[in-house]
Every structure is written in structure tokens, then in C-alpha cells.
A and B are shown apart, each in its own frame.
Chain A
């Protein structure tokens, strides 16, 4: 399989993952609305805060790889926009290496923290959702983001060496 094709598949995977995250965000809206709607009759959705926290974390972290792959992170182009293509690729390569390292480090030590909380049986405050449920989307999002960042390292590295981008830029769905 060519690198470009593998990259496309990764983009697709990130898009689908992000859409699952969007379902979670929509769930947060629905649960909150249900809680508000039940209020006049003295009712409430049990553990609404715990549930919304979980759904929003899922939404945000399942979206993270898509933000990476679609170049959606905030960066300042002030210098890069005036540089030749290879020099700009060099800067992007540096950013991708730092991104890979940071994502991988957070994932590794985050995993340790999750395992520790699992051993202690930590749960959420109101309805006792295991804390591992909150960690799972975070770690999955970081893991997929690490893979995306690694692909970006290869892509920008190839761009730097050959002077040609192996994938058409800005093609994320």
C-alpha cells in the first residue's frame, strides 16, 4: 500500500472517530435538555453532571485526531508563509516531531494514571461511573493523534527530502 493511500485511510478513520465524538456531544445536549425539561415537575436526570462530563470528554478527544489530520490546530504562519517550500516543510517536520513526542508522553503517563485509578477503584462523584471510562476516550484520542503526528513526520520528511508533498494538502474530509 502506498503512503498516500495509507494516509487517506488514516484521514477517513479520524473523520469517523470524530463523528462518533459528535454523537457524544449531541448526547451531552440531549441529556442536559432532558434534565432541564424534567425540572418543573421536580425531576432530574440522575448524575447529569457525571454523564455530561463523560460525553464532552469523549466528544473532545475523539475530535482531537481529526483536528490534527485536517491541520486545524492554531499556529502562527507569520514566518512560514514567506519561506521556500522546503524550509516550510522543515518547520512542519519539527512541529510534527514535537507533536508526536508530546502526544506519546502524555499517553504513556496518562495510561499509568488510569491504571492507578483502576486499582484504587476510583469512580465519579454522583453516580459512580468508573474513572477509566473518562480516561478511555482521552487515551484513545491521544493514541490516534500520535499515529497521525507520526504520519505527518514521515510526510514532511519526504517533502523535505524529495521537495514534493507525497499527499495532496488539505484533503481531509
Chain B
């Protein structure tokens, strides 16, 4: 059996183990060790077992991950979600579908200080779902806007997945953060447009509410200064070159903690709750990183990436056609796997192909995360669909899935725009680089 074939078999074996409910990090690690031993023998595998896990978690740049998770955990409990929702609602809540649009806007803003899609859905769901239900919104639109809005947190910086992609592919995390800004905003606008169209066709889905005067709007706006300040410090600090991403994450975590304290929301229970969430998420990510480290050694030595590059060159397909096939592959895979695992499992052999075709790693990173976002709302394992169900009592999954279709369409439009016009993604990082 040839090396690349063993690599391909290993990829399939990892997928099977994952579908059999083996934790993703363990599945990748076990297949990585087994595959490496099969290709290179046990003596070399002992060496890899001794160094790969340490190498996978030692880089300083990785410190950014738990610190951003901590920032998100504090932000989620600091009451930012309600203030954000009220602020956006004050401006557009009166329009037909306005509360759903406010949910999308608040999710985008919350994602800017949180970095986690699931936390965004869970937090905004608790705020927005009861409000939309109270105003007679159909569950289909209400739940889907929360689930879809939550995906914006994956792309809008700071994004944990972008950090992991940056570390895996040695791409600048600062450049990735800057590149994600405009596509994130584009996603926000397209989701709002989807709601606009949907409520034009079926006004009963999201009836309009009373209009707020400018005094109320300004008061609501004045309560979100903390989000603006945190975002300006964290992302503006990276853009201006004041902070490295790790420093920005520490500033963000400290700022979110201070804000929660100032709001009188940092009780002992809330602090422990934030700590537990940070620890569980960090442990989960680091185990996946260890598994991915072992898996990467195996995939590299199997020769699968080189074979893929060679085979694709032989097909005579244009680079863009290959990229489309890769995107389709990710959309399908995203239906069955969570985004972080999907990226860690596939980037070791997909990225060499993309690099060999001459595509910009920053642009590809944003495309990849956009597709991963789509995976969060596509059944059967779209995580956001489950989370929104968890925070809205009595909500049926079929209702959420039906409601998600217009948002899925908006995502496809966004992906098409990003593919057709790379400048949307690359303009800001190019300006940052001067």
C-alpha cells in the first residue's frame, strides 16, 4: 500500500471514528499515531509522540486562544448583549422584521468582543428570542435570525478559528483579523437583506413595532460605549501596531472583566462560571491541537499533500475550478463536522494544494471560515441550530431549519462575492501592510 493511499485511508478512518462519537482530538491523535507507525515504524513514532504534542501547544502565538476565550466568557456575562440589542433595536426595531435585523446587528457587534459563535447564539438567544416572541414574531424567523447571526462571531474578529488557521498555516493573525472585517460586515448586511425580503413576502413573520424617538435612541446608543471601546482597543490596537494579537487578547479579557465589574455583574458565581467556560473550551481546543499535531505528522509523511497537488495539476482544471471544488467539499463536510475540527483535519492536505495553485493564504482563510460558518447552520450537525433550541423553550428543530433557508441563501451569495472579488477581503490587510 502506498503512502498517499494510507494517508487517504487515515483521513477516512478519522472521519469514521469521529462519527462513532470518539472526541475529535482523540480520533485525530489515534489515527495520527497509528498511521505514522504504519508508514515509518514504531521507533520513529516514539520520537513523534515525544515531541509533537509539545510542539503543537508551545508557540507563544497560541496564548491568544485562551485569552480571547476568557474575554468572550466575561463579555457574555457582562450584560453587553442586552445593551447591544436595545441599541440596534432603537434604530431599526420599528421596521417590519426590525427586531430580527436588530438581532443580526447585535450578534455582529457581540461577535466583535466575543469570538465564539456558540456563546453569541446562547447569549443573544436569551435576550432576543423572548423579545421577538413578545412582539408576535414567528419562531421560524426569530430562531433562525439568532442561529444565523451567531455565525457572524466566527468571522468578525477576534475569531478563535482564524487564530487556529493562522497558526496552522503560518499566516499573519493580524492580517487575517483585518481581512475578516469587511466580509463580516457584508454577511451582516446580507442577513438583514434576507430578513427584509422575507418579511416583504410574508409580513406576518415579523410585524413592525412602535418607532422610538431620537432621545431614546441616543440613550440606548450611549449604553454600548464599552463594546465600542473594547473593539477599538483590541482590533484597532492590532491594526495600529500597538499590540500583538496575544497582548490585544489580554487587554480584551481585562477590559471585559472591568466592564462586568463596573456593571455590578461580576459576582463570585459569575466569575466561577466564566472560569469554567474558559477552562472547558481551552481544554477542548488544546486536545484538538495535540491530536491535529500528531495527525499532521502522519499526513505529511504519507505524501498525500504532494500527491494531491500532482493529481490536480494533471487534471488540467483551472485553479479557480479547483478552488470551487474545495469550497463545495467544505460545505458538504461542514454538514457533519464542527468548524474547528473540520479545519484542523483538512488544512494539512488542502492548504498545500491551495498554496501550489498560487492563492493568497489570507483570502483562502477567510473563504474557509465563511464556509465553516455555513456549516454552523446546516443540518444535521449545525451546532447553532441546537444551541438556539436550548435557549428557546418549545422550539422545534424543523421550525429552525425551515427558517434558516434564506440565511443559507445569503451565505451562498456572500461566498460567491468573496470568491469573485478577492479585493473585498484583501483591501484592508493590504492597507495595513502599507
Contacts and interface: CB of A to CB of B under 8 A. Distances in A.
A110 B336 contact: no
A32 B250 contact: yes
B250 A18 contact: no
B22 A95 contact: yes
Contacts, number: 177
B251 A33 contact: yes
A76 B336 contact: yes
Contacts of A18: 275-276, 279, 283
A89 to B, nearest CB: 11
A138 B54 contact: yes
A64 interface: yes
Contacts of A102: 26, 29-30, 33, 291
A88 B21 CA distance: 9
Interface in A113-139: 113, 116, 134-135, 138
Interface stretch (B59-67, B207-215, B425-433): B59-67
A153 to B, nearest CB: 13
B117 to A, nearest CB: 13
Contact of A74 (B47, B62, B284): B284
Interface stretch (B3-11, B108-116, B124-132, B337-345): B337-345
B278 interface: yes
Contact of B287 (A19, A67, A112): A67
Query: Chain B contact residues (Cβ within 8 angstroms of A): what range?
Result: 35 or more
A57 B58 contact: yes
B20 interface: yes
Given A66-B280, A110-B50, A73 B20 contact: no
B60 A74 contact: no
B380 interface: yes
Nearest to A52: B63
Nearest to B64: A56
A32 B21 contact: no
Given A33-B251, A53-B60, A79-B20, A74 B30 contact: no
A36 B30 contact: no
Contact of B278 (A25, A95, A110): A25
A63 interface: yes
A145 to B, nearest CB: 8
Contacts of A77: 21, 381
Contact of B26 (A36, A78, A95, A116): A95
Contacts of B284: 67, 72-74
B62 to A, nearest CB: 7
A131 to B, nearest CB: 9
A29 B250 contact: yes
B57 A74 contact: no
A95 B19 CA distance: 11
A76 B21 CA distance: 5
A103 B290 CA distance: 10
A111 to B, nearest CB: 8
Interface in A65-85: 65-68, 70, 72-80
A29 B70 CA distance: 10
Contacts of A59: 66, 279, 282
A91 interface: yes
B88 interface: no
Nearest to B237: A36
Contacts of A113: 50-51, 54
B54 A74 contact: no
A116 B280 CA distance: 31
B71 to A, nearest CB: 9
A66 B286 contact: no
Interface in A1-52: 18-19, 21-22, 25, 28-29, 32-33, 35-36, 49, 52
A95 B21 contact: yes
A60 B66 contact: yes
B298 to A, nearest CB: 13
Interface string B315-343: 00000000000000000000011101100
Given A53-B58, A101-B30, A67 B46 contact: no
A9 B116 CA distance: 32
B313 interface: no
Output the residue of A57, A67, A102, A108 with the most chain B CB within 10 A.
A102
Contacts of A80: 20-21
Contacts of A22: 275, 278-279
Nearest to A95: B22
A116 B21 CA distance: 36
Interface in A85-111: 88, 91-92, 94-95, 98-99, 101-102, 105-106, 108-110
11 contacts: A22-B279, A28-B67, A59-B279, A61-B286, A63-B278, A73-B24, A78-B336, A88-B21, A105-B49, A109-B46, A109-B47
Given A18-B283, A63-B278, A95-B21, 13 more contacts: A18-B279, A32-B247, A33-B254, A59-B279, A70-B280, A72-B284, A73-B24, A76-B381, A95-B22, A99-B22, A109-B46, A113-B50, A135-B54
Interface of A: 18-19, 21-22, 25, 28-29, 32-33, 35-36, 49, 52-53, 56-57, 59-61, 63-68, 70, 72-80, 88, 91-92, 94-95, 98-99, 101-102, 105-106, 108-110, 112-113, 116, 134-135, 138
Interface of B: 17-27, 29-30, 33, 46-47, 49-51, 53-54, 57-58, 60, 62-63, 66-67, 70, 243, 246-247, 250-251, 253-254, 275-276, 278-284, 286-288, 290-291, 336-338, 340-341, 380-381
